[in-house]
Amino acid sequence: MLFKVSAKEFCTKNKHLNLNAMKKLVVLLIAFLVIVISQNSEAQMQKDTLATYLKKAEALAKQGKPEDASKIYTGIMASVPDNKDAVQGWILTNMKRTQTGEEEMIKSLSELSEIYPKNTGVIFFKAFIEAEYQHNDDALKDIDRLISLQPDTASHYILKGQVLSSMGKFNEAFVEFDQATTLDPKRSDVWNMKANALAKTGRFDEAIAAMNKGFELSPDNPEF
């Protein structure tokens, strides 16, 4: 009986304790919300500022001021290493429409990748252009660099699978497409790529299953 306390007595004795605990909790929640709102606002400001700079660079390029445009693009590359828009803008501004234009662009992108070694946008477009012009071994090396920097990005495995397919290495290509569908299972086009790689290696049942999966995701896609 010594330790018997009624619910009413307990609540009365702990009323001030409960109120103080609630007040502290409210203060902590408010502080947390302020931090979240502040971070979201800063992120939106950075996004808006980035879009403004990209538009300015594009306008300068159209005005025949490629050097000024390029300075803005490289500034973005330095501060936002995962932004592909700046790299694409830089390429469009500087790529020469000549017979050896792609060779010069690959060389220029190689120089940029030395300056910004962790800029995935630079590496991605370098690999893309290398693959486009059949510099497959160099493309694969750059794609492996991308994967080491961003191992959870499906598009890197897709690009690697496409390069390997163009080289006739369909077993290896399948591995890459399989990883891409694991990371991004809603990409119907990748299921089609996976199906093609499987069919090329004689795994027709698996190819049909992959194609059916792609069709389920995108029934209006003419590829299926």
C-alpha span between 155 and 184 (Å, rounded): 9
Q: Could you tell me what percent of the chain has a pLDDT over 90?
A: 63
- Please write the tens of the pLDDT for every residue from 26-75: 556 555 544 544 444 444 435 668 899 999 999 999 999 999 999 999 99
The amino acid present at 110, given as its one-letter code, is S
Number of H helices, E strands in the chain: 11, 0
C-alpha span between 7 and 44 (Å, rounded): 51
Q: Which two tokens stand for residue 73?
A: 């693009």
The answer to whether the predicted template modeling score (pTM) of the entire model surpasses 0.75 is no
Q: What is the pLDDT of residue 219?
A: 78
Q: What is the pLDDT of residue 1?
A: 46
- Please write the tens of the pLDDT for every residue from 33-43: 445 444 444 44
The pLDDT mean for the chain works out to 83
Contact between 207 and 199 (Cβ < 8 Å)? yes
Q: Which helix (H) or strand (E) holds 94?
A: helix 84-94
Contact between 210 and 191 (Cβ < 8 Å)? yes
Q: What is the pLDDT of residue 81?
A: 85
* Across 157-161, 186-190, 216-220, least confident range: 216-220
C-alpha span between 153 and 157 (Å, rounded): 7
Q: What is the pLDDT of residue 74?
A: 92
Q: Which two tokens stand for residue 173?
A: 């290509």
Is the CA virtual torsion 148, 153, 155, 158 positive or negative? Answer: positive
